[in-house]
Structure 1
């Protein structure tokens, strides 16, 4: 009989997260997969067309059974975001009480909010089965940065919730080595934590340049950013950097293509206009993930960015693997893990997070490289990706954890 994995992920198809592909791969490997998720509303903040409290609450995607529990859409305000987080947990609690699903493992895909892990932990305790947690965002650190909340009682309460989740998970996977250490610093035994980096889906592969309607076919040097446009990305650095490049007479020679949507997009557009650099920006609506490699192929360089914060220095953004898999040179405004990877791979250039002058400098540096030098840099990125983020090696590694009987002994200690 096929083993049954219950995946708890507040975001799932048609929302674009890597858990969609992970679940698809598990189905290919012969697992039965059921996903407990919310009604899709990320990142726009409202329900996707065709979905709602009374529409499309169950679905099958690539052989994966999807159950959508009610939640409040995230909206555009902090209050709505809080209600979004809370409503998923409350719906998950009721679901846990009444569900007749009997799974063999629980796998929690934890991007913010970590509160989404609670229904998975509670279900695993109820059924006395192994519970795996895949940490993409560190809490409570992420809460302090995104919301600005510093009240020690609130952060302390969130910290206790995080510790409860870590305690009641049998195995914790982290997307960066720095995350492994940060989780261990909360008192979690290191042997319970493993580095399991993200990979890119199979369609992220080098493409031949072709004419696309979104990006003008001209002699301008194209830099592309793809993905969520939120506060954490720190994209406010780009208008200031563009201003600096414009002063160096590069306004009509460099273009920033911003592909995506998010809570910060409107502010970014306004800042671009305020800095008088609109001619250097091309805003492209959110695209299906499968189209991203095609857009990357029509640009010289990919850009990734994070705000200047110790937490983000520990983070490896998922887009980095996507860019590298496509064999495109990467420039980054960041600290820590991302810079280490770009340095080791020789697949791109980086500047300190938040430093627009240094970012302008590396953009000029890469702008002045020959096509052959750019091609070599992109090839280096692709080679590093294959050697370090190979999807099939990582999925086989996960199988070894599922096959292990050692965790069941630990379960008694945790649940007791």
Structure 2
């Protein structure tokens, strides 16, 4: 097939922005012609990547993949105005300077975040008659509301309703709508998206990260018998990490050490909570450089995934789940819904009740009793599950099938 990809984020941008590039390369490897329409790389710091200079448009080749880059306003900070300028400038620029490369395609894959990408998507769908697979990486407006980015009040509620109506228009115009978790499929169906359009396509981890040459155990002075539980990521309200601190305070097993890496709005509160309770088995590492993340993954005998109950937790799939499974490490999940199901189905995880320090403490004791060798076996089971359910090869096969179905349904109409 001649496949187009419309995404604001693409190589060489790292982290979640790297996932579309992996999909493009895998689709090309499977024999498809792939044309990408994207922006100039500026994630995650809002500065253009080395070697790039902003221009109206730029055509590149990444191996067998053709790439059209269009101008945008580089930014990625907490300013609502600058973030809107970043999202909106890409959408308008893609519409004006990029959509012509999408003419004549068999099908178009669209990454839905940000939802301003709807402008070039609608143009391509309705003017060029190209059927669309919309991959819902983030549920809007839910994720924006949960982040607190919109604030509160009457204006915020009106913006939220406008976003919801905008997303409904995207769902209606797409031939297929893919969700990254099973519960999200049910949620969109309950919101009126036709069930026959919906498909579950999980996202993958960044499989191109270099394998660590060593872990951080020696550097951190950890004993060989210590069971290391790692939390790495945002330290915010949604993660509910207060209960992890309280749980660690309840565990007196000398083998347990919990490493917390990252930053966020609750970091100081968590540090103060640990200090007030004299919790000796918790260490805060702060924000580590990106190149040290593989070594941190290797350091953890188990990785902690936590979401406060309620809200989006039932259908949220944090990217650290895929990253942990891909790294062959065990999981400790204090969350409900789809994340807990993955922990159970993969054979790689132990679950605890979210927000319940006693339940989490019991799970930490179980990790210590299992010991490092048995946790290694859980991690190996997780890696096998990742290859079956989450790998880019598995995801690309599902995307390929959904695109073919989009083409067939478009032809029938």
Equivalences for residues 42-121 of structure 1 within 5 A: 42-51=43-52, 53-54=54-55, 58-66=59-67, 67-95=69-97, 102-110=104-112, 112-121=113-122
Establish whether residue 6 from structure 1 lines up as the match of residue 33 from structure 2. Answer: no
For residue 228 of structure 2, what is the aligned residue in structure 1?
A: 222
Greater CA deviation, 84-93 or 320-329? 84-93
- CA RMSD in angstroms comes to 3.4
Q: Is the 8 A contact 2:56 2:97 kept in 1?
A: no
5+ residue gaps, structure 2, are: none
TM-fit CA distance, 1:364: 3.5
For residue 268 of structure 2, what is the aligned residue in structure 1?
A: 270
210, 214, 220: which one pairs with 2:214? 210
Provide Cα deviations, 1:29-55, integer angstroms capped at 9, x if missing partner: 232323222333333344444445359
Rate the CA distance shift 1:311–1:242 in 2: closer, same or farther, 3 A. Answer: closer
Count of residues in correspondence between the two structures: 397
For residue 170 of structure 1, what is the aligned residue in structure 2?
A: 175
Rate the CA distance shift 1:150–1:189 in 2: closer, same or farther, 3 A. Answer: farther
Taking the aligned partners of 1:55 and 1:212, their CA distance within structure 2 comes to 44
Establish whether residue 342 from structure 1 lines up as the match of residue 331 from structure 2. Answer: no
Secondary structure, aligned partner of 1:280: strand
Q: Is the 8 A contact 1:6 1:107 kept in 2?
A: yes
TM-fit CA distance, 1:11: 1.6
Q: Is the 8 A contact 1:316 1:338 kept in 2?
A: yes
Greater CA deviation, 369-378 or 349-358? 349-358
Q: Is the 8 A contact 2:301 2:376 kept in 1?
A: no
TM-fit CA distance, 1:156: 1.9
Taking the aligned partners of 2:170 and 2:102, their CA distance within structure 1 comes to 23
Q: Is the 8 A contact 2:5 2:36 kept in 1?
A: yes
Taking the aligned partners of 1:197 and 1:354, their CA distance within structure 2 comes to 26
Provide Cα deviations, 1:152-177, integer angstroms capped at 9, x if missing partner: 43222111111110111111111111
Secondary structure, aligned partner of 2:3: strand
5+ residue gaps, structure 1, are: 260-264
TM-fit CA distance, 1:244: 5.2
**TM-score, structure 1 as length reference:** 0.81
Greater CA deviation, 364-373 or 119-128? 364-373
Taking the aligned partners of 2:70 and 2:353, their CA distance within structure 1 comes to 41
Rate the CA distance shift 1:281–1:131 in 2: closer, same or farther, 3 A. Answer: same
Taking the aligned partners of 2:178 and 2:348, their CA distance within structure 1 comes to 26
